[in-house]
Amino acid sequence: MDALLALEDGTVFTGRSFGARGERVGEVVFNTSLSGYQEVLTDPSYRGQMVAMTAPQIGNTGINDEDMESERPQVEAFFVRQVSPLASNWRARKDLGQFLREHGIVALSDVDTRALTRHVRAFGAMKAAVSTEDLSPESLIAKAKAAPDISSRNLVCEVSCRAPFEWKAGLPIGWGEPPPPARRHIVVVDCGVKRSILCQLVQGGSRVTVVPWNTPAAELMALEPDGILLSNGPGDPASVGELAETVRELLGRRPILGICLGHQLLGLALGARTFKLRFGHHGGNQPVKDLATGHVDITAQNHNYAVDAGSLDEGEVRVTHINLNDRTVEGMRHRRLPILSVQYHPEAGPGPHDALGLFGEFCRLVDEWWEERRVRVAGL
């Protein structure tokens, strides 16, 4: 073994380096997905976190060009029980270790990921330090304790785009029909948006403009959006209170969809509170119940924070979905305004496709809202 992972509570795990060499600090979480490690690695929502995969072997399909959710890996470090010695897939362009080394990501195999997962489940997500250079447990534990808390960092500003841009790509060739002509303009506030969210919007017939997280409401409205999407992203929603204030200015002015961090920011803008989960929801097998129909979707999720249901104004907002594992809020909708949000990831990248219909629901909401306005104006 040539590497150590030390948790702030003094627990130490050994491993073998197969990524870049070096030293990193961050917060350890575990992901229960059986596949889709490339999407996990490149999801900007994982900025600041070290991810342990619970599946016993990772890397057997290599790395391809189509499954990137951003330009590069976003995790602080990556831990697996066994890394596949062979990348066998017709789309693969390189193996997992090469990909991680090229991007400077520290990664360990031969980690007892079952013990690590059970420890995090029992004691909660916690700060950690991993190193291929400092193999002193005492030294590494001290570094883990001294690491900044993830809630103290504005991680959104690290992953958001720097300037507005148009996104034009739909699903990859062969994955579906070509996108139809754009019928509406959706502006996406980039808190760390996944590319597959943008692709689903285009695939549904929308023109998509992506703007930085700190774009003022006036500048956003000047783009003349038909609807606004608040994207997923990393960290504590309270660390981007400025964006919650911007969202508050937008309420009622356009239809709004919030996904993951966007859902939490809508909660804050509507006067609710958020709180940190013990070990978060990370994986592609989270059951979510629609309270109106009783239907259960299996969903992909990646978040450490949740909206406090008891802090919502029931006269203004109704909870639409709950997580069947811990009863946390998974969706909400405003009773008067064209606003809906979900805590889970409907774009299925990676994960099940159960919730893909949410994009169509949002587009219908946008179209119906504008049609009502046209009828109202015509009747004056």
Query: Side-chain half-sphere of 250: how many Cα atoms within 13 Å?
Result: 33
Q: What is the pLDDT of residues 132-142, one digit of tens each?
A: 999 999 999 99
What is the reported pLDDT for 321?
98
Which pair of tokens denotes residue 206?
């929308």
Residue with tokens 């924070």: 305
**The pLDDT of residue 317:** 98
> Could you tell me the pLDDT band of residue 380, with boundaries at 50, 70 and 90?
low
Two structure tokens written together for 116: 């690590």
Please give the Cα distance from 145 to 142 (Å, whole number).
5
How far is C-alpha 150 from the geometric centre of its chain's CA atoms?
Answer: 15
Q: Which tens digits make up the pLDDT trace of 73-94?
A: 999 999 999 999 999 999 999 9
Q: What is the mean pLDDT of residues 205-232?
A: 98
Q: What is the largest CA-CA distance in the chain?
A: 76
In this predicted structure, the answer to whether residue 356 has a pLDDT above a threshold of 60 is yes
Model confidence at 378, pLDDT cuts 50, 70, 90, reads: confident
pLDDT at 192 over 80: yes
Interior angle at CA 175, CA 170 and CA 176, nearest 5: 75
Look over the chain and give the mean of its residue pLDDT values, rounded to a whole number: 96
* CA dist., res. 140 & res. 231, Å (int): 35
Report yes or no: 117 and 81 within 8 Å, Cβ to Cβ: no
Residue 373 pLDDT greater than 70, yes or no: yes
- Per-residue pLDDT at 231 exceeds 60: yes
The residues carrying an active-site annotation are: 260, 345, 347
For residues 210-226, give the mean pLDDT: 98
- Helix residue spans in 124-260 (DSSP H): 137-146, 156-159, 195-203, 217-222, 241-250
Domains 3-148 and 156-377 in one fold: no
- The CATH architecture assigned to 3-148 reads 3-Layer(bba) Sandwich (3.50)
In the block, residue with structure tokens 């070509």 = 178
User: Which tens digit of pLDDT belongs to each residue from 117-128?
Assistant: 999 999 999 999
Instruction: Enter the DSSP assignment of 125.
Output: -
Give the residue from 145, 147, 129 showing the smallest Cα distance to 3.
129
Determine the residue type at 17: S
- Find residue 17's DSSP bridge partners: 108
238 to each of 189, 213, 248, 270, 344, how far by Cα in Å? 17, 14, 14, 14, 19
Q: Phi, psi (5° rounding) for residue 217?
A: -60, -40
Burial readout 130-143 (b: 16 or more C-beta within 10 A, e: otherwise): bbbeeeeeeebbeb
Asked whether the predicted pLDDT for residue 233 surpasses 70, the reply is yes
Find the mean pLDDT for residues 91-101. Answer: 96
Give the residue among 5, 8, 3 at the shortest CA–CA distance from 133.
3
Q: What is the CA radius of gyration of the chain?
A: 21
Q: Which residues contact 284 (CB under 8 A, 6 or more apart)?
A: 32, 33, 34, 36, 298, 299, 300, 301, 350, 351, 352
pLDDT at 330 over 60: yes
Per-residue pLDDT for 361 more than 70? Answer: yes
Quick: pLDDT tens for 294-326. Answer: 999 999 999 999 999 999 999 999 999 999 999
Residue extents of the structural domains in the chain: 3-148, 156-377
Q: Does domain 156-377 have CATH number 3.40.50.880?
A: yes
Distance, first Cα to last Cα, the chain: 76
